[in-house]
Structure 1
């Protein structure tokens, strides 16, 4: 499946924010609105943040109000935590926007259902079941993992949580509920395609959860794991993963950036896994923070080859 990645445009937008190129950013957002009209929830938020960074607070409020009028909304906490929007907190209009977002959030929570997106080669010997990150969705997340080569070589399953985080955004915050959705969908996925080699993967919150499911809980019967920028907040997470006396016969790969806030914990986890005889490759991307690099599909192939013990 060949597709232009919205994530690549997103990285360009973030770079303009970081470099303070706000006028260029506004022009890029106009183009992004033309190219990706289905992603207006992100575009409107970025535009509001851009105005706020220019101290044009009324313009920022106006953008958010118009978006709400058009059926767009965000997780209230996302708006409150955004540093660019902090100057808006004392405005009555911003409080009203938060209230409307909270109402939409509660309504969408009731209606949301888990889903499974499937891509790739149905005849492939290797299947990869990958969990999206917090605040994302399976369809967007899949674009990082898919290119002509990976879709030809692997079968992919991307479960999407029913736990609403925002418009087109979901999380795995309720771990018990997540397991009740992930495990049966995984079992059905494997029954349908019956790949010889089975790998579980994920990124950020989904990466940490993938590790727990195959190492600690052992709910997913797999041959290996690929955890990308996993959220590992403290050593208790690492210790809990390896506390089980029965060590599953796994191989795995951790992919992280040296600027990721969880880099140290991820590197330590790799050593701990090796110490208990779980071969684990650590791929470190120089200069990368809590994100996925443009060349991720190459790293994915390297990770799969390591898990399957394919000699170079």
Structure 2
């Protein structure tokens, strides 16, 4: 099944979780898991969290142990999830933590930045550099950005070297993230019309990199950017006078209002920045993201 289908399942599971319907969420995962073998790591972790939340310590440890038996591991930040509090003090959990940390360290030691580039069929309009969100990858986010080639854009999907879980990555170390972004840009030799886009944590990196002047790019396309007004406002003093931004945010996203606030701040500072508020969308890509990208790139190319 595709990443888009998995995102639908995730939304359904999280909706049940938010309704405290933990048993129903677990049953849904059990029903759908055979359709998503490539997301086994996520599904086992969700099961462990749900079991722990329901007070089923044996079940929670069992799911984590199954992940260990499959050669999987989880970042220490994931293991701090409050949903695992019921098993946190157990010897079995402590042993799994040690094993997962060892596997993480081994995997992180050999992880390197990755990039995939898609070329347009005709003349190149510009370069779109895309950054995945936390717990993302080229595989998870690439299909959202690749269709921009149909509008004449060369698309470069970047993947962080910072591991979150097997085949999932994040940008939590800002210095390392910026260094990787700069290296990719140097190798891509960006044309004058270059846009840095991203989702969630990747969108926050795009906004920071462009507004701070840390990269020689003055266009950003931020989808569900995980960045707040107090983090954006200090960057304006360094912004290129020709900066333009396009922001996409769901009206159900917990960051919807703060994001719209800093967009207004940019506009008041003279930075052309449009915001597209997507109805009925939480912290995710909107359903018709290809049309959104087309609108955003048209605005940024003006």
| TM-score above 0.5 | yes
Is 49-58 or 159-168 further displaced after alignment?
49-58
1:270 aligned onto 2:263: yes
Selected match of 2:287 from 266, 269, 294? 294
Count residues in correspondence.
Answer: 299
Query: 2 CA distance for matches of 1:3 and 1:119?
Result: 19
Kept after mapping to 1: 8 A contact 2:223/2:248: yes
Deviation at 1:205, TM superposition (A): 1.8
Indicate the residue corresponding to 1:227 in structure 2: 222
Query: 1 CA distance for matches of 2:3 and 2:120?
Result: 17
- CA 1:268 to 1:305, structure 2 compared with 1: closer, same or farther past 3 Å? same
Please list, as runs of the form range in 1=range in 2, the aligned pairs for 1:129-140 lying within 5 A after superposition. 129-140=129-140
- CA 1:122 to 1:198, structure 2 compared with 1: closer, same or farther past 3 Å? farther
Runs of 4+ that moved beyond 6 A: none
What's the RMSD between the two structures over aligned residues? Answer: 2.5
Indicate the residue corresponding to 2:16 in structure 1: 16
Structure 2's unaligned 5+ residue stretches are none
Please list, as runs of the form range in 1=range in 2, the aligned pairs for 1:138-149 lying within 5 A after superposition. 138-147=138-147
Residues 136-180 of structure 1 show CA distances to partners (whole Å, capped at 9, x for unaligned) of: 222202233345xx3422332111111122222222222222222
Residues 53-100 of structure 1 show CA distances to partners (whole Å, capped at 9, x for unaligned) of: 33222011111112112101111221222x322211122111111121
3-state SS of 1:277 partner: coil
- CA 1:139 to 1:248, structure 2 compared with 1: closer, same or farther past 3 Å? farther
Kept after mapping to 2: 8 A contact 1:130/1:157: yes
- CA 1:189 to 1:212, structure 2 compared with 1: closer, same or farther past 3 Å? same
- TM-score normalised to the size of structure 1? 0.85
- CA 1:91 to 1:38, structure 2 compared with 1: closer, same or farther past 3 Å? same
Kept after mapping to 1: 8 A contact 2:121/2:149: no
- TM-score normalised to the size of structure 2? 0.88
Deviation at 1:190, TM superposition (A): 4.1
3-state SS of 2:249 partner: strand
- CA 1:200 to 1:113, structure 2 compared with 1: closer, same or farther past 3 Å? same
Indicate the residue corresponding to 1:202 in structure 2: 198
Query: 2 CA distance for matches of 1:15 and 1:120?
Result: 38
Indicate the residue corresponding to 1:45 in structure 2: 45
- CA 1:52 to 1:120, structure 2 compared with 1: closer, same or farther past 3 Å? farther
- CA 1:13 to 1:155, structure 2 compared with 1: closer, same or farther past 3 Å? farther
Selected match of 1:250 from 236, 243, 246? 243
Structure 1's unaligned 5+ residue stretches are none
1:212 aligned onto 2:208: yes
- CA 1:43 to 1:211, structure 2 compared with 1: closer, same or farther past 3 Å? same
Deviation at 1:199, TM superposition (A): 1.2
Residues 164-217 of structure 1 show CA distances to partners (whole Å, capped at 9, x for unaligned) of: 2222222222222222211121232346xx5x7321111222112111222212
Deviation at 1:16, TM superposition (A): 3.2
Is 267-276 or 256-265 further displaced after alignment?
256-265
Selected match of 2:150 from 149, 152, 164? 152
1:61 aligned onto 2:55: no
Query: 2 CA distance for matches of 1:292 and 1:55?
Result: 33
